[in-house]
Chain A
Amino acid sequence: DIQMTQSPSSLSASVGDRVTITCQASQDISNYLNWYQQKPGKAPKLLIYDASNLETGVPSRFSGSGSGTDFTFTISSLQPEDIATYYCQQYDNLPPLFTFGPGTKVDIK
């Protein structure tokens, strides 16, 4: 099975800072990688799909990149409403298997 790791597990940054989260897959997953935001007490929300595609309606300060085993999620200018836990998720269709990373909790300093 493919394992997903994320780093850091948590971070604290100031409003306006650039925030970067990395996600690593245990084997090549091409670009089959999505990113979600989960605010406290709420359901996750899709932000980025297929590694680098911004979901409709998601602010452009969010971006994703990478392919193969190494991926990056970036918030270009952290806003107070971005306080959340961010998860990466890979998908594999043969057989279907969808694995989430352990999450990165983002706080305001």
Chain B
Amino acid sequence: QVQLVESGGGLVKPGGSLRLSCAASGFTFSDYYMSWIRQAPGKGLEWVSYISSSGSTIYYADSVKGRFTISRDNAKNSLYLQMNSLRAEDTAVYYCARRSGRFDPWGQGTLVTVSS
């Protein structure tokens, strides 16, 4: 079955960096756009970024532009999110999801906490 598993979350100090990974299985990863979406504790959902199937097209939300970098390795069926210059307001559960437009399915999420 289609499965997405995120990893790499944790506690990081403001200004620090973290790299999230998303391992995909059960579908032809290289055929699909992929996205990152986040949810701050007790809050709603915020789209972060998406990358096209080949990696040639990338978009970011204004809130992370210039600080976050999305990438993918189709040979490894993996999606990544490099997060630099982290701020307290980046604290959230980060989900990877298949597709852009409509997100289906989602991984279980990985928690990123930015705190001193």
User: Interface 1/0s, chain B 84-116, versus A by CB < 8 A?
Assistant: 000000000001000011111111110000000
Known contacts A95-B59, A96-B50; A55 and B44 CB within 8 A of each other:
no
On chain A, the residues within 8 Å of B45 by CB distance are 36, 44, 87, 89, 100, 103
Complexed CA–CA distance, A55 and B108 (Å): 19
Find chain B residues with CB under 8 A from A50 CB: 102
Are B101 and A91 in contact (CB-based, < 8 A)?
Answer: yes
In the complex, how many residue pairs between chain A and chain B have their CB atoms under 8 Å apart? 56
A41 to nearest B CB, angstroms? 10
**Is A93 among interface residues, defined by CB-CB distance under 8 A?**
yes
Docked pose: A97 CA to B106 CA in angstroms: 18
B31 interface residue per 8 A CB criterion: no
In addition to A43-B108, A98-B50, 16 A-B residue pairs with Cβ atoms within 8 Å of each other are: A36-B103, A42-B108, A43-B95, A43-B109, A44-B45, A44-B95, A45-B105, A46-B104, A55-B104, A87-B44, A87-B45, A89-B102, A89-B103, A98-B100, A100-B47, A102-B44
In the complex the two chains form, what is the Cα distance from A55 to B99 in whole Å? 14
| Tally of chain B residues near chain A (CB < 8 A) | 18
Total count of chain A residues near the partner, CB < 8 A: 24
Q: CA–CA, A82 to B22, complex, Å?
A: 28
Contact at B103–A46, with CB atoms within 8 Å? yes
Does B73 sit at the interface, judged by CB under 8 A?
no
Which residue of A has the minimal Cβ distance to B4? A43
List chain A residues, Cβ under 8 A from B46: 100
A64 → chain B closest CB, angstroms: 12
Separation of A43 and B103 alpha carbons in the complex (Å): 11
Which of chain B's residues has its CB closest to A91's CB? B101
